[in-house]
Every structure is written in C-alpha cells, then in structure tokens.
Amino acid sequence: MYTSAAIILGVMVVVYIAALRFKLSTELAMLLAAVAGALSAGHWFPARQVAEGSITYLDINLIFICATLFMNILKESGGVAFAVRSIIKTFYKSRVILLILIAFLLLIPGALTGAGSVTVLIMGGMVSVVLTYMGVTKIRTAAIIFLIAGLSAAAPPVSLWAMMTAAGVNMPYVGFFMPLLIPCVLGALFTIFYLGWKGNRIDVEKAFAELPEPPKKMNWVRIIIPFLVFFGFIFLGRKWPHDTPVVGMPLMFLVAALAAWLLSPVKLNLFKISAETIKQLLPLIGTLTCAGILVQIMTLTGVRGLLAITFITLPVFLVIGSLFFFLPITESVLMYGAAAVFGVPLILLFNSIGMNPIVALAGMSVIWPLGDALPPTAIIGRLTVDVAGAQDSYGKFLKMCIVPAIFICIIGTLMVIYSKDLGFLTGL
C-alpha cells in the first residue's frame, strides 16, 4: 500500500515539474498532476472527484471576491487616496508615526481579503511614492511592500493558509485573531523600521503631485462607516453568538461594499468594478480550485495519507527546525495549495504531541507568505518589484528581504515551539 502510494506521488511530482518546465501556469500544473495521479492509480478520469475537489474552497473564494470588491470600491471612490494624503499631511514631521501608519495601511487590504496581491495592487503604488519621497530606495521600498503584503495576507480576519489547513483537519476557524494579529504586527513594524528608517523628511508637495487626487466631498466618515458595518457584524456574532443569525463573511463584505458604494462621493460603475475584481482575482481563484482538486485526488489515491504518516513519524525536532526552510519552499512551488497538502499533516503531528494547534498554525501561517518571492512562481514578488519600479534588480530585492524574513521566521517558529504556553491568546 505504501509502495503504490509512493509511486503515485512520484508520478504526480514528475508531471508537476514537467508542466512547469513547459512554462504552464501553476494552476494547470497542479491540475495535470492530479489527473496523472488518478490515472496511475487506475481511476482513469474521476469526474465526480474532480467536481467535488473544485468546490472544496468555494467559501474561501467567495470571501476573496467579496472582500476585494469592497476594497476596490473604496479605492475607486477615492477613499484610499484620501487616507494616504491625510496621513502624510498630518504626520509628515514625525517619521516614526508616519512609518507606523504606512505599515498599518499596508496591512489592511490583505488582512480583509486574504491576498497579498490585493495589498500590492491597491496600496503598493501610493506607498511606493510616499516612501520614495521619504528617501527610501526603490529596492528597500519593494522589500517593505512585499514583506508587509505577505504578513497582511496572513493577518486576521481572513488568513488563507490558516483557513485551508483548518478546513483540512475539520478544525473551526475560531480563536485565530490574536495569534495571527500579534506576530503580523510585530513583523510589519520591524520590517518598515529596519528597511525604512534611513532617509529624509518627506517632500509633501512633490508627493502630493504624484498621488491621485481624491474627490472634494470625500472624508473620514465615508471611509469609516463601511468598516464599522463589517466589524459590527463580527461584534454581534461574538457578543451574542446564539441569538445572531450566521450570515457568513462573504455577505458581511458585500454589505460593507454596498455601504461604501452608497457613500461614495462620485458615481461608480459597480458592474465594471465587479468585472475588474474577478479579472484581478482569477489567478488566485484558479489556484484554490486546482489545489482543491489536487487534494481530493491525493485523498482518493492514498497519497495524502502517506504524507500524513510520513510527517507524523518524523522526529519532531527535525520538523520544527526545518519549518523556516520547508514552508517557504512549498509555498514557492504550490502557492496556497501548500497549506492544504502539507499544512494538514503538520497540524495533525503537532496536535498529536500536545501542542496548541491554533497557535502552531498561526506561527506557520506567518512564515508561508515568504515563499511568494521565490522561484519558480514568485508571482507576488515580481508584481511588487514592478509596482515599486525596481524591475532590474530582483536579486538585490531578495537580499534586501533576508533580515526581516529571518525575524519573521524566528517569530513563527517560536510560536510553534511554545504554542502550548501561548494558548491563552486564542481566548482573547
């Protein structure tokens, strides 16, 4: 049984690598690997399994779509530009406060949508302009945007890696808020101060000349109310869990998006924004769909069980000691599918030896996004370099990320090691 599962796994790996070598996308490579695994196991083309796998992460896809629609409406209405310009105008004399606020601005889009690419696309350009006029080089700017965008994707309330792994082990996505928030905030602050502290006082006039001009009627009230609507739903659900109907995160984001649309000072083409949102998220949706198919076929053929048993029987010190290397590598190859394929057996292992699975998974989720800058995919890393205007220096960009990445890996690994002692965070 183990031999046959190992052979099937070998076939899937070979097909996946071959697909990447032929310049196929990561999504198609995962799909072909899944089909090859089914064929080698004698199941031919299991249409039912493929169909079921394709909707495994449907709820997560809906969250991404609705949350990104919300952020895009805020951007198109001028809310994002207004917030950036207001922060610069108020705090341009204090570099410390300005850097802290820039870090939080970068954290918000990814935290709400679960996708670091959304942070790069919505905030990357404007933050790049601000940091450039603060005397930060383009390479350092790209590193700041990428690293905090990755942390924003791992931050609550929507953390894709934590959600996918929790779904794989039938663990409710509850209690993750503080275990995810604290390391993400610490990592973001260390990153922006380490890479952005050196420079000069921002030239407000030059920065404003490049930043988009928000509508005259835009104000903080129009920005804050949609967020209050969203967090109001969350508060009601936590305060009165047995009396509040479960509406789900997609509907929460849709209502918040509707509020942002109604409060917009300019007329917005909702259909156009919705179409652009789907186009923007198509690679991510495709990745999650194909990852679901891959996991379904791995379960059908026994490969998933083989991986789980292999991880559980490895020495624990070896597993934990290699997380800083193993997790980014799996993310660079499988992207978000790494959580479903490797996160599940890792959490089963940690849970079996008495660790707190929520805190341990939160620590792993902080490390995973670092792989988005590594080949063969490196989609978000290359996107960030393009947005920051540092296209010709990808190697230097990776070197600039090393020290903050080490700091983030240390935090994540320590959370895994001391997950039992940090269990109190799940109740905050």
CA distance 77 to 241: 34
CA distance 33 to 117: 25
What element of type H or E holds 405? helix 394-417
Place of tokens 């790494």: 338
Residue 145 identity: I
CA distance 232 to 247: 12
Q: Which of 85, 117, 49, 80 is nearest to 284 (CA)?
A: 117
Tens-digit pLDDT profile for residues 29-50: 889 999 999 998 888 888 888 8
Q: Are 303 and 9 in contact (CB under 8 A)?
A: yes
Decide: helix, strand or coil at residue 376. coil
Mean pLDDT for all residues in the chain: 86
Write the CB contacts of 250 (distance below 8 Å, at least 6 apart in sequence): 59, 62, 63, 65, 66
Say what the pLDDT of residue 151 is: 93
Tens-digit pLDDT profile for residues 226-269: 989 988 887 887 778 777 787 888 888 899 999 999 999 999 99
> According to DSSP H, which parts of 240-269 are helical?
249-263
Tens digits of pLDDT across the chain (428 residues) = 578 888 888 888 899 889 888 888 878 888 999 999 999 888 888 888 889 888 877 877 888 788 889 888 988 998 888 888 888 888 888 889 989 999 998 998 888 877 777 788 778 887 888 888 888 888 999 999 999 999 998 998 888 889 888 888 888 888 899 999 999 999 999 999 999 888 777 777 887 888 888 888 899 999 999 989 988 887 887 778 777 787 888 888 899 999 999 999 999 999 999 999 898 888 778 877 887 888 888 888 888 778 777 777 778 888 888 888 888 888 877 777 778 778 888 888 888 888 999 999 999 999 999 988 887 667 788 778 887 877 667 888 889 999 999 999 999 999 999 999 998 988 77
CA distance 318 to 404: 23
Decide: helix, strand or coil at residue 265. coil
Say what the pLDDT of residue 377 is: 64
Say what the pLDDT of residue 171 is: 85
Tens-digit pLDDT profile for residues 191-224: 999 998 887 777 778 878 888 888 888 999 999 9
Query: Rounded to two decimals, what is the model's pTM?
Result: 0.81
CA distance 75 to 85: 13
Number of neighbours of residue 428 by Cβ within 10 angstroms: 10
